[in-house]
Chain A
Amino acid sequence: MKNYWKSIEEKNQKVISKIAEEKDMSQNTIIETLLEVMKFDNSTSRRDFLKLGGFSLAAATLAASCEAPINKSIPFLIKPEEVVSGIANYYASSLIDGSDYCSILVKTREGRPIKIEGNELSTLTKGGTNARVQASVLSLYDTERLKEPLHKNSKTSWGEADNKITPLLNSINTKGSKIVILSSTIISPSTNSVYKAFVKKFPNTQIVYYDAISASAILMGNKKSFNRQVIPDYRFDKADIIVSFGADFLGTWLSPIEYTKQYVQNRKLNGKSTMSKHIQFETGMSLTGSNADERIPIKPSEEGIILINIYNQLAKINGSPVYNINVPISPVDIKPIVNELWTKREKSLIISNSNDIDIQILVNATNYLLGNYLNTIDLDTPLYVKQGIDSEMEAFVIDMEEGNIDALIINNVNPAYDYQNAERFKRGLTKLKLSISLANTLDETAALVDYVCPDNHFLESWNDAEPKRGFFSLAQPTIHKLFNTRASQESLLKWIGENIDYHNYIQKYWEEFIFPLKNEFINTEFEFRQFWNKSLQEGVFEIPSSTVSKKSLKFDSITLQDTIYTIVQNKKSVFGDIELQLSESVAIGHGKHANNPWLQELPDPISKICWDNYATISPIYASENGLQNGDIVTIISDSAEIEIPVLLQPGQAKDTISIALGYGRENAGKVGNKVGKNVFQFGHIANGNTQYYRSRIKISKTGKTHLFALTQTHHSMEGRAIVRETTLDNYIENHSSGNEMHEKYHEKARTLYKAQAHIGYHWGLSIDLNACTGCGNCVIACQAENNVPVIGKDEVRRRRIMHWMRIDRYYSDSIENPQVYHQPIMCQHCDKAPCENVCPVSATMHSNDGLNHIAYNRCVGTRYCMNNCPYKVRRFNWYAYSENEKFDFHMNSELGRMVLNPDVVVRSRGVVEKCSLCIQRIQEGVAKAKLENRLLIDGDIKPACLQSCPADALVFGNINDENSKLSLKHLDKRNYHLLEELSILPSVGYLTKVRNKPNIKA
């Protein structure tokens, strides 16, 4: 080979390397090289061979087995001032997403939001959240979020999109054609001002508010009754008797977190001897119905008749006019309810989730008759979370179909999926000249439009909210935008030619409109900057409601006669049919969160089914028609038809079916697609509003079956004292009623062993079964805090759900109308834990402060501890759930893993895990107190399940401290320990369930 060289150096270099090469060649084999190095003779002896063989075997083994994973670590070149590695920062913010609102604290670690906590400074949500709020942090790291703007489903840039959209809008405007902004309810005052600015620039713009699950009848009903188109402020804490017609106010209705906070105030006993009485009329079993003192299953069509009868009987007592011409008698005995309502008038509350305007008027009339206005219902502090009027939406869809609209901007709604007549909407879309979606995923609607201009995630954006009059709230970004997205408001402003950062816009808006309110009410000389910083830091700014003037109220009763007549006529037309009720799922809502694996895997609070919707039918109907759990049936109405599996639901009204909305998404993403069935198509417009029930339903068996992903399959306590209960009257007589055995077991307990000494602290929990509504917030909070993996539908079917915290649900009494019990269960941290002494390798041990530890590193996975745990709270990693393609949820992508809590290890395959009472939080609290040189006090440490509990059902504390809140709870006469007869001394206590219902004498 020729030697080419370009410099003298290179030539010399080549010579040197040639010499080296020759030298290499002279040493024949690696073995010989090694021998030379090791100063052996070239003549290899047997012993040498063995030595070398042994060495190379050992070396190969070491090299093969000690492969360490390569972790990328990027140092801070310039460290941000507020970020300290290992220390979390909390930012006050708000979840603002259509009708969902919650004031929150966002926990960030190293710049990543990893957990959402409730903001205790908000007097609306008071530190509570719900499962959807808890899970919303995961949607930030959803790989299916749009990463850049799209034009006809292909990538484009913001500049290009804006350059095309702006002239188009201008030309449509100059032509005088119509532009529509189809938007979810907007509770943000600044966004509304953006809309106004948009309308100002393009005067032909119409804004249509659309709620997938609307409350338009309440709005219209109040307009008719009081001439105010508002949702009033319901005060569950002030009501002594609550009568709800289908309103799932603890789970999904309007403002469930706020309502739960209020409701439990009047349900917890805490030494009191009064509690509110809750009566629920409903079709399917809802979360709220399961908590009611009395639950009365009715068909949706019977609601009106019962209300008329209640109204008439009350009117008779009151001496008001009675409308009983042709009114059928109530199918249930309402006499005791009427009497109780009358005795508790002015302190009662009647609500209905019906979207029938007549029923809402009747509800208003009854409440008016009882004098509830200004007491338990306040029209002056209206709730703004639902503003959509169904008839406006319907008119718009017709308008669009007829081609009268040229441009459509869709903000935060998905009517191609959730409109009751989605086909019609889709047809209308094709008639447009310009369609823009501001969705941040390519949902069913966004997939059909010309331009998708993706909005930021709420954790990346500035926003503000006024969910209720006078209650302002701010949202701030807690992370830089992950993708090339843009705030929807900024997009709108850009198109009207205003190039302004939305942060500045909100600030300007607040300075102009909200800051003056402050000065009006509080006479301190505040600079706006101070006001802004304070509001931002606290997340909320509230105007004390006492200052809102109370206007006198007059109920417009002229139309009442017609209202009642219409209800009676409607009822006549549906006599004897099977009726279908569409309900909102506690986890998935109206389907927006369908791609969130945490929510998909949250067991429904009642049915305990994950990853599915289903038709619930009454067990009696099932036995009459030969249906069993999981049988797939065809459900046919006038306009729609689906195949869906049935579930036998105790407490379901006979001849009715309930199905949850929000499932069956087509374009949600890989997690949510094709999970369950879409039933929005069964909705229909009647009387101007979308009705979420349907009569004249036919069911037929298909012969196919479906296997549900159930987390609990046995529903009876089998007579065991698992949830101990009593009635209010019995409780007043004897505080330990229902809990008599506690004393007995306590006396009987004997042991041969020395009691475990708990030095310093002895952590424990107390759970008030009277407060817990079973909503599932704690389950998701725990999942988020402790990196609990999602395992998918099939694995849940195999009964391997990984949740550290679960809520057991039991039924008692009759199958037609059972009583329901919710019982949160986590590791009970027994002082004599049965799991500890069976572990062969001591991987699970007791700590001095009463915690049951588990050392994942030490666990070999014999699972004996799981067998021996009487509560079965231990979970096994049957597979590797992280970075495993078979479990393609958030833990399988780099982006999704950003939500993981760095304080909690991700467990590997083959180890057992369980609730640690959030030991990372305990350690943090202990360290903090130590730095401050003080003892821990109540409230210093809050495990995740408890921090955001909307019902404040849990108390955490130190058992060793006699004055701690927890110790007082443990000394309560209602306190008992689950399975205390086993003498394993759990640190978790439960307080008996007390129902406000008449005593049944045995």
Chain B
Amino acid sequence: MYDANIRGTLIKGNKTYHQITEDICRPLETSPNYWWYIALFLSFGALSIGTWSLYMTFNEGLGTWGLNNTVSWGYSIINFVWWIGIGHAGTAFSIFLLILGQKWRTSINRAAEAMTVVAVFCAGIFPIIHMGRPNIAFFVFPYPNDRGPLWINFNSALTWDVAAIPTYLMASAMFFYIGMIPDLATVRDRTTSKVKKAIFGFFSFGWVGSSKDWLRFETLSWILAGLMAALVVSVHSIVAMDFASSILPGWHTTIFPPYFVVGAILSGFSMVLTIMIIIRKIYKLQDYITDSHINAICKILVFISLIMGMAYGTEIFVTWYSGNEYEMFTFFHNRITGDYNSAFWIMVTSNAIIPQLFWFKKIRGKLLIVFLISIIINIGMWFERYVIVVTSLSKDLLPSNWADYTPTNVEVGLFIGTLGFFVMCLLLFFKYLPMIAISEVKGVLKSSKIKN
């Protein structure tokens, strides 16, 4: 049970239920401030860079990327894994904390879930455009056909990906949407615009707030949470197997699935932290997203970061213990001391060492530092994927093949494009949908009050 006397109140400022509704619905009912427009404009800019890159990719071919015969996966796969990792946040956040009965999630889970859906969508773009012939991407689906019939290869981890990622995308979108139904009904009831009424009316499924509605809503949330809990673990495990099921030194490791899942949670949570700190400031939601929320996330990050450190250590230990000369080269000569040592040490420092600062309460209390560290973790996690993808490929078994990899503008443009898309979707979400779960926050209002 949450003890506000120890952990602090979850909602400050002695709010009434009506006050909560007013506060959270305000962005939907007032016109946004100039920051919103500037950000939207910038995200459009980024999106158009992405569109140009996409045009180049489709029109000219993958030759516009920096890949080569040796390093045939690069920026796009790094970004794919990175986005998938971020896409872990919302669901992991909502579900694990829901299952564990952590009430403090209520102020944050909505935004985190929105982030998840958009991030997984961004991730999902990459495997398709990364194909040599995206026009026949449907070949990866098992469907009845007159080519034999020819089935897909169930041994390939990429086939598992095909199943895992759309499933995860759909499930998290559904979870996001279902959780929003009571709030959509609230918006419907408050709005004066006929159009909005019609739209929100349609999407709120005729919610009236009866006990029956609530009972079904709760039941469905729990069922979905149960299903999703497994998916959260499976989706990134499968992404990890894209690498682990190969024979490349540095990829071929059994630790990859748990290591990737934990890494994903680390990057997801830090992305949640980044975004929460921004919207709390801009939308003045300090009463709802309080210091104790941030504190709680920071504590989780310390723990996850320790697991990451452990994973890095285990990988290196197992390499040394195996004595395999190729593995030894990849880890000790290529990553730790070799051409890619800067990427390796950025990864270790930002993911395993810097988050340890959160042991200090003072640092957890300094929002600016927390914000910076959350960004550093995101960069560190990007470098982790870079280290895995590029170092293993560029220097593998036969030295004659060794080649370097530098991304081109087109590849970077695609990444910028997805960032633009991500920001744009979140901005639209903040403007048009309640960014905090009104009904759930109301549920914890009383129980998290400091009792005298």
Contact = CB atoms under 8 A, between A and B. Distances in A.
A838 interface: yes
Contact of B246 (A714, A716, A834): A834
A860 interface: yes
Contacts of B67: 863, 876, 878
A820 B4 CA distance: 75
Contacts of A837: 153, 155-156, 245
A137 to B, nearest CB: 26
Most buried by B among A795, A860, A876: A860
Given A842-B153, A864-B158, A879 B133 contact: no
Interface stretch (B69-77, B267-275, B352-360, B433-441): B69-77
A949 to B, nearest CB: 20
Interface stretch (B57-65, B202-210, B276-284, B293-301): B57-65
Interface in B396-426: 396-404
A912 B139 CA distance: 15
B399 A718 contact: yes
Given A808-B398, A859-B133, A840 B156 contact: yes
Interface in B52-93: 60-63, 65-70, 72-73
A875 B60 CA distance: 18
B368 interface: no
B153 A720 contact: no
B259 interface: no
Interface string B321-345: 0000110010000000000000000
A-side interface mostly: loop
A141 B128 CA distance: 39
Given A840-B153, A861-B133, A799 B398 contact: no
Interface stretch (A20-28, A479-487, A592-600, A866-874): A866-874
Contacts of B155: 837-838
Q: How large is the interface on A (under 10, 10 to 19, 20 to 34, 35 or more residues)?
A: 35 or more
A841 B140 contact: yes
Given A722-B398, A870-B398, A910-B62, A799 B403 contact: yes
B159 interface: yes
Contact of B61 (A720, A838, A871, A879): A879
A858 interface: yes
A979 to B, nearest CB: 6
A714 B400 contact: yes
Contact of A860 (B70, B140, B393, B402): B140
Contacts of B325: 719-720
B150 interface: yes
A314 B130 CA distance: 68
Most buried by B among A717, A800, A861, A874: A861
Contact of A720 (B134, B245, B399): B399
Contacts of B158: 838-840, 862, 864
A273 B417 CA distance: 66
A116 interface: no
B399 A870 contact: no
B248 A867 contact: yes
A963 interface: no
B246 A868 contact: yes
A863 B153 contact: no
Contacts of A839: 153, 156, 158
Interface in B217-260: 242, 245-248
Contact of B132 (A798, A800, A838, A861): A861
Given A867-B73, A867-B248, A858 B156 contact: no
A946 interface: no
Nearest to A720: B325
B162 interface: yes
Contacts of A715: 399
A875 B62 CA distance: 13
Most buried by A among B131, B156, B326, B400: B400
28 contacts: A713-B403, A716-B399, A719-B325, A720-B325, A720-B399, A722-B398, A798-B66, A800-B68, A839-B153, A840-B159, A860-B133, A860-B137, A861-B62, A861-B131, A861-B133, A862-B131, A863-B132, A867-B72, A870-B247, A870-B398, A878-B65, A879-B61, A909-B132, A910-B62, A911-B133, A978-B398, A979-B398, A982-B397
Given A714-B400, A868-B248, A871-B397, 4 more contacts: A718-B329, A800-B63, A877-B132, A910-B62
Ranked nearest first, the 10 interchain pairs of A and B with the lowest CB-CB distance are: A861-B132, A910-B132, A878-B63, A799-B68, A808-B400, A840-B158, A910-B133, A879-B63, A863-B72, A872-B401
Interface of A: 712-720, 722, 795, 798-801, 806, 808-810, 823, 825, 834, 837-842, 858-864, 866-868, 870-872, 874-880, 908-912, 978-979, 982, 984
